Each structure stands twice: as C-alpha cells, then as structure tokens.
Amino acid sequence: MSIGRRIGTLMVGGLAGLVATLLMVLLMVVGRIWLGISPPPEAIPDRFAPTLDIDTFFSLFNRFGGYNGLKKFGIRSGMTGLFAVGTLVGLVYAAIVESRRSRASVAWRLGLSRIGLRFVTITALLLWIISLIVLWPVLDANYRGLPPSTARFVSALGLLVAYASYGIALIATYRFVIRRRAVDSPETTEGVPPGAPVGRRAVLAGVVGALLVVPSYRLLQRLYNRATFSYDGTPYSGPGIQPITPNDKFYIVTKNVVDPNVTTSFWRLEVGGLVEDAKSYSFDDLASLPSVDQETTLMCISNHIGAGLFSNATWKGVPMRDLLAASRPKAGAVEVMLYGADGYTDTFAFEKAMEPTTLVVYEMNGAPLPQRHGYPVRVIVPGLFGEKNVKWVTGIEVVDHDAKGFYEQQGWGPNFVIPTRSDIFAPRWDRQRGKDAFTEPMRVGQPTTIRGRAFAGNRGVAKVEVSLDDGETWQPAKIDYPGTQLTWTFWSYDWHPADPGDHVVTSRATDGTGAVQTSDRRDIVPQGATGYHRVMAIVEG
C-alpha cells in the first residue's frame, strides 16, 4: 500500500473514531440527564479529589481560580481525554485492519475484518473493566436518586452500553467510508479507487458527526444552565440578614459541577451495614413516620471569621435513631457512613447518630427541601460542620470502624465540632487596607448600633460581649434573638463614641457550658477557623 493510501486510511480511522466518540458522548449526556448516570469526565474528578492532600487541593484552587475554576478544568480535561482516546482507538483500528488486507480471503466477511472486530471488542471490554476498577468508589452515585446498591449496577450497565455503542459506531463508520466486498483484493475497494479512500462517503460520515454535535451541544448546554458555578460559595451576610434564613438566601457549598436533580419515584433511602434488618424507604414511607420540627444552624468548615457561609432554618424530618432502631444495629457499631446521590460520603459517630436532634429531613422552613439543599431528603446533625450534613442522602450504613468521608480523606479534621464564634455584620463593613473596616465613618456623640451573631454549635450561646478597644475591656451586648441550643444568636450593642480616632470593635461569645470563645487565631484548615472578629471603626470629631 502506498504511503498516501496509508495516510488516507488512517485519516478515515481517525474520522470513524471521532464520529463514534460523538455518539458515545451523546449517550452519556442522555444517561446523565434522564438516568442520573455520572459519565467519566464527571466521575473521574469525584474519584480522585478525595485522594488529594489539603495543600495540593488548595494549590489547585489558586492555579485555576477557585473551586469553580477547578471544576471547569476537570470537566474540560475529561472531555478532551475522551475525544483523544476515541480518536486514537480509531487510528489504531484502521492500522490493524489495513495491515491484514493481504489476508482478505480469511480476514474479511461481509466486508468486516475479523481481527478488527476482535480488537474493538477487546478494547471496549478493557475500557469497561478499567472504568469499573478505577471508578468503583463513585459508581454508587446516581443524580436521579437511585440508592447505592442499584446505582452501581445502573452505572456499570450505562458505561457498558456507551463503550459498546462506540465500538459499533467505529466499525460501521469505517466500513461505510471504505466499503468492501465480502472478499476483497489487497488493492481494491468498491467505489473507492486505490490511493483515494477519503471521498464522498467520508464527507457523509463527517456530516453525521456534525449532526451528532447538535443534540449533544443542546443537552450539554442544558446541563451547563443548571451548573453550580453561579451559586456555589453563596454566603449569607450583611446588615439585612434575618434570624431565620429564607430558603433562597441560605448559604450554599457543593462539590458538584451539576447538582443532583432527584426524582422521588426513583429515590430510595437504604439503611444497612451492621444491622439485623436492612431496610429501604421510599419518600412516602419516610414522610409517613413520626416527625419533628427543629431549628438548627449549619456552618461550613471553610467559613472564615466574619464570613457568611452559615445560615439558620427550621427543619422537619425523622430522627435518625428511629430509622436505625427499626433496623436493629448489631453490637460493635462505631460510625454511620452516609451516601449522597452525588457520590458524596461522610461519617460521624454512631452515638451522634442516635442523638434525638440528628435528623433525616425533608422540609425546610415549612416547604419541601429546595433542590440545591438536598431535595428530597438530607441529614441534619447539630454541632458538626456542614460537610457532615449530607444532602440528597440515599444511604445510611452502620460500620464497625473509623471510616473517612470525601473531605476527611484529604486530611480535614479529625475534629469537626464547631467552635464557639461571634462576628459583626452591621453597620456594613468590608476589607480596607488589609483589615475589616466599617464602610462609613462614625461621629463623636452620634449613637451607632453594632449588630452581630454568635454561634456555638449545639452548645447554645449564654452571652455575648463587645470590646471597643481591641479586647482591653469588655461590655455586655444585648441579645436580640436568643435562638435555641442548636442555633445562632443575634446580638446588638448601642455605642456612643466619645473620642475621635481609630477604634477596633471586637466581639466574643460564651457558650452554654460557660466556655469563652478563644482569641487564638486559626485558619479554616483543617478544623475550622477560630479567633475574634475585629472591625476597624473610624470616629470623626
């Protein structure tokens, strides 16, 4: 075969691989939207993100412009890799098929190469097996709400269908472009002269590939419109905040590029592991059980001092201990492992799961859980950072060992108990000259009301104090909203500045056990931030 013809057939192989990849991507996107199956470009980042240590994790944040930038990079890289591998397999297929043309009498039947068929079959199966091995820890994700046991099977089947479709499309496209008789001569193709394998059929194949781009693009755009880029990291702060946070203002942190869109008819909650009687609950089953209403504040472990990644709501749901008791846990239970529809996992102590305030909830402020906050069901575990309050929960597994969840594997913790803290949210302030400072100056003799909030996990807030001289002296603040033992407290302090100049306004809280908030400054990594919130006030004479 001439060099020109070899190059031409390789080009056809690459084209066939590209068209087949476009079909595979279309099927993966369809599976993601309607069946909730996480495709490799989404599953691979979820698989390996927990294996990154915290320093590497945050260095990638800085490199790619934050968590959203890192998410975008992961998806782009996954899609690029998918097309690169798909095209490469097409090139190899063409090279293998054409290298055996001299054995046409034994190698070709119905215009198909036996060795080519074997290559494609083995490659598809190998890719499927490798995917199962590599992605096994996240195959239990299902963004439509299937429980972990079912989700693994559906995810594995979905991958097999996608890879098989790629293989069939690769063979069919190549066969169409370089059409062969049942038994071919080494240098003859039907309707294609020697040295010119790329012609009208290749153009038609390209058109088919282009047509596949259209639905894929539209469906990808549909997913992109639901992406978390616009709301991940949304805080709740500023002078207008309320004791009970409106659902649409509640802070949001998510690891996902596109959050789950759970269908209640798909959704099930499995309770299993180290229990006598594993159970599976539909949404109606759960909602029919005796419920409680409980006001609880949630806060993210990455919430800096003075920042707004925490909010407060009234939740309605079932105590987790009731679900566990119905399954009769065996002796030796150490922790519960929680599974989310998005493949997220986290754990906390079995004793914590059996506390009456740990809930499996389905309402938020009198309404069904919003999709962004875990619809249809999430977990509320007072006193522990937000990452433990798993959203879109589909599984509760009792385990006999110290298991580690998504972020804990990176090195967060080991203590996830929320420390006592307080901050100032009014008058309005922002970062000025590298420090927090009120945006408007104050005047001598003119009254000013300083407002803030305090939070101590599930220990309650006993009192709040304010300092106007950077902690030298302290005065009691007025409690405007005491909340409950599980919530934040709102406070205020009426100040009549007597002296012009710079004043550092500081607050500190005392929790329900009598322990005073620490002044020691600690960053969010690895156990959450501590220290006083200091805001500079400029007083004019």
Distance CA 428, CA 368 (A): 33
CA separation for the pair 20, 42 (Å, rounded): 20
Task: Please check the confidence at residue 187 and state whether its pLDDT lies above 50.
Answer: no
How high is the pLDDT of residue 94?
93
Q: Look at residue 107 and tell me whether its pLDDT is greater than 80.
A: no
The C-alpha atoms of residue 349 and residue 296 are separated, in whole angstroms, by 19
Is it the case that residue 139 has pLDDT exceeding 70? yes
Fold of 247-410: Sulfite Oxidase; Chain A, domain 2 (3.90.420)
Read off the tokens for 131: 């995917």
Q: pLDDT class for 199, splitting at 50, 70, 90? A: confident
Q: Mean pLDDT across the stretch 418-439?
A: 94
Residue 113 confidence (pLDDT): 80
pLDDT in tens, 153-170: 999 999 999 999 999 999
Check whether 27 has a pLDDT greater than 60: yes
Distance CA 194, CA 95 (A): 16
> pLDDT at residue 376 above 80?
yes
13 in the Ramachandran plot: left (φ > 0), alpha (ψ -120 to 50) or beta? alpha
pLDDT at 245: 98
**pLDDT at 136 > cutoff 80:** yes
Return the SS3 of 423: strand
Residue 516 has pLDDT above 90, yes or no: yes
40-44, 83-87, 200-204, 501-505: lowest mean pLDDT where?
Answer: 200-204
The mean per-residue pLDDT over the stretch 164-179 comes to 92
Closest CA to 386 of 179, 234, 216: 234
Amino acid at the residue 363 = E
Average pLDDT over residues 166-177: 94
pLDDT at 2: 65
Q: How confident is the model at residue 110 (pLDDT cuts 50, 70, 90)?
A: low
pLDDT tens figures, 259-303: 999 999 999 999 999 999 999 999 999 999 999 999 999 999 999
What's the whole-model pTM score?
A: 0.92
504: left (phi over 0), alpha (psi -120 to 50) or beta: beta
Q: Token pair for residue 363?
A: 């309402």
Mean pLDDT, the chain, as a whole number?
Answer: 93
As annotated, the residues of the chain forming the CATH 3.90.420.10 domain(s) are 247-410
Q: Is 460 helix (H, G, I), strand (E, B) or coil?
A: coil
How many distinct helices (H) and strands (E) make up the chain?
A: 11, 23
Residue 78 has pLDDT above 90, yes or no: yes
**pLDDT score for 108:** 55
The mean pLDDT of 476-481, rounded to a whole number, is: 98
Segment among 180-189, 218-227, 351-360, 490-499 with least mean pLDDT: 180-189
Q: Residue 193 has what pLDDT?
A: 43
Residues 73-97, mean pLDDT to the nearest whole number: 95
Q: How confident is the model at residue 109 (pLDDT cuts 50, 70, 90)?
A: low
Query: Which top CATH class is 421-540?
Result: mainly beta
* Distance (Å, whole) CA 139 – CA 231: 26
Which residue in the block uniquely carries the two structure tokens 């034994």? 106
| pLDDT for the residue numbered 8 | 81
pLDDT value at 111 more than 70: no
Least confident of 97-106, 207-216, 428-437: 97-106
Residues of the chain with CATH 2.60.40.650: 421-540
Which pLDDT value is given to residue 101? Answer: 62
Per-residue pLDDT for 1 more than 60?
Answer: no
Higher confidence at residue 257 or residue 192?
Answer: 257
